[in-house]
Structure 1
Amino acid sequence: MSTGVLITREPIVNQQRAITANRIIVHAANITQAVQALEALRPHWPAVHPVFISFGRLVPSSDLLGWAPPENTLIEIPAPALQYTQIQELVGRFAEAGTPLALSWYQPGTAWPEGIDCRFALADINKVPNPHNAPGLPLAWGLADVPAFERAVTSGYTGAAGWFFLKGVTPSKQLAPSHAQIVHLLNLVRNDSDISEIETALKRDVSLPYKLLRYINSAGFGLMVEVQSFRHAVTILGRDRLNKWLSLLLVSASNDPAAPAVMQAAIARGRMMEILGEQFFDKNQLDNLFITGAFSLLDVLLGSEIGVVLEQMTLPEPIHEALLQGEGLYAPLLKLAIASEGFMPDQLRAQTESLGLTVQQVSAALLQAVAFADTLSFG
């Protein structure tokens, strides 16, 4: 049985559904074990957005005081624990150390220690429909879908934590013309068409070349030189690797102002699969793993059924099998990436065990994937 500390994650979004923070849920036997695991993950820490740390069912203890969290970290204090004097004292110690704090599982009447800053208060929307007396900026949790989020905002919530924005989407049976154009571009690259023909297709939408070069030159890609043109990209990357980055154009094709949160989730899935795939696949298949994860949310991003999109694309069979049947070579890693998005770790632990991975490998890959996705600008 796989033992050790696992982490799962969920995004925190503002009223416009743009990601403003990442929430990490640490699943450990005790706080000491949790701190050791978090410290080991420091090299992979996401730096673009603040990181909330929830200890799940554990209550924070003085064992945390010996740990210096990364600067962008907020520690969550569960509201039920504030009834205990030692927790109130711990909150004061955190404040003295300059550690930002958030309150989780807020309930009306929760007494937050006076004179201590509480940045945010997370509340279960099913138990707290009105958060107006929360000690920090109120964030809703437990939302069923986007309409529930809109009702929460109307009730006074400033944002939310969770994956509600992936739920309740009714996809169309047709692909929008603008999306079909990018599919055509991807097929040209997959079919090894002439560079001039690909450039012509790329330039039909003036935003596409700009987006493509922005992605390739992002910090997450790590190139030593700036790519200036599509031909330059082909020279440096080669066609096979370039296909991965062209796929980002399709993932980022939605005009919905709330789409960046979904895009971040899709790219994080792909990057996590790519990192862990190094244990199982040759290098020439890693880009396909990335594409599998990135395309796993195309139905939400494009508003079209995944089958409608994929039937028009030239893609390797394992990608089709993973996305349409949940089977084949890439499916286990896709299931693992999706399981990392659950609040509880049971499915993630089971999938980790079935693949023969360690919890350390999975947790490190998850944080690296989130950090990578955060470096890409989808605006």
Structure 2
Amino acid sequence: MTSNTAFIGRQPVLNRNQQLIGYELLFRPSSDALGVGKHSELQADTDVLVNTLNNMGTSWLIGNKLAFINVGEAMLNSEFLELLPPRRIILDLSPRITPSNELLSRARHLRSMGFGIALDDFSFESQAAAFLELANYVKLDIQNQDATRFQMQAARLRSYPLIRIAERVETHAQFHLCKELGMDGFQGYYFAKPETLAAKVIHPAFSNTLELLNLLRMDADIRDIEHVLKRDVALSYKLLRYVNSAAAGLNTAISSFSHAVTVLGYQKLYRWLTLLLVTASDDNNAPPALQKTAVTRGRFMELLGLVQGEPHDFNDNLFIVGLFSLLDVLFDMPMDKIIEHLQLPAPVSDALLHGRGPMSHYLRLARACEDGQLDGVPQLCEQLGLSSAQLNEAHISALAWVEELGL
């Protein structure tokens, strides 16, 4: 697993009443997400976009609003788009896209899936006019043309069933003109300068992703697939996020990795992994210490549950609690923001968020053993009915198991 920081530029998009309807999102792998006065040069970076939205989802970025995402020709053709939640995403097509029958067909397909289509920096003379019949939104750049031409373009668009947004509105005079022309929405420095948010993106190990693909090709036993998932915190987190998204409408929480694989199915899991493989790290060296600690903690807690004779699902959830208990550090985000994207069983959420419930006792014990806070260990063991010998044996077994994994 590798990690890097994604910086996200976010600029409000407003309606005629200056009420927020969404944000234009701009993604960069470093803090240059927002170039001063260079809005038109900013394009969504494919790798950062997909990883950020797959890791974090959209709710922490946009709440219940729309996300306008810059899309060039390569991104428009990318299957990565199909991993995003279509009802919340507006694909902001670049004016530099060269239309073709294939691209028009692709845009039509994405719209049928529920994605919105916006035409950025539009003019009737541009090549993007070929996409006009598919557009839900058209953006007119008030800085990129004189007032007369802007008025002509705006007037001509009134006959189309779409929302007209004036972008790069920077002065009161420009805002007043846009309102007089009956523009439906606005975006620009006059209302709010873009703000930069940051999120840490974590990548699953390339080798683990490849191993899972091979297992699926061989139609391997689900236990072998579960074994690989358990040793990669990034991969398991992404899978549970994706399954909960793909399984929208299910009224049951995903209770284990095997349950997640069963719900998704081998074919869909294989497709998802092939897309994920593009963003997996090609670094086959030992992962960072934090990931090793998370995997060890999960296995340690799972073994303690086995000693106690807990049910299989309970022990599997103990592993998830331990594995995910360091996600806030790995993502550099509050735990509640991370796991709100997962439909986790209530006992798992309670342990991770509030430190309560039966699984929280195992988590406190595992942390105490890791931190060397041994004064409290006897009391925690007594609460769980564990002897010191059982504790030590489980801890040693967990450490040995992780070493055998090559972590």
- TM-score tier by shorter-chain length is 0.3 to 0.5
- Which has the larger helix fraction? 2
TM-score (norm 2): 0.37
Instruction: Using structure 1 for the length normalisation, give the TM-score.
Output: 0.40
Identify the structure with bigger relative contact order (alpha carbons < 8 Å, sequence gap 6+). Answer: 1
Larger Rg: 2
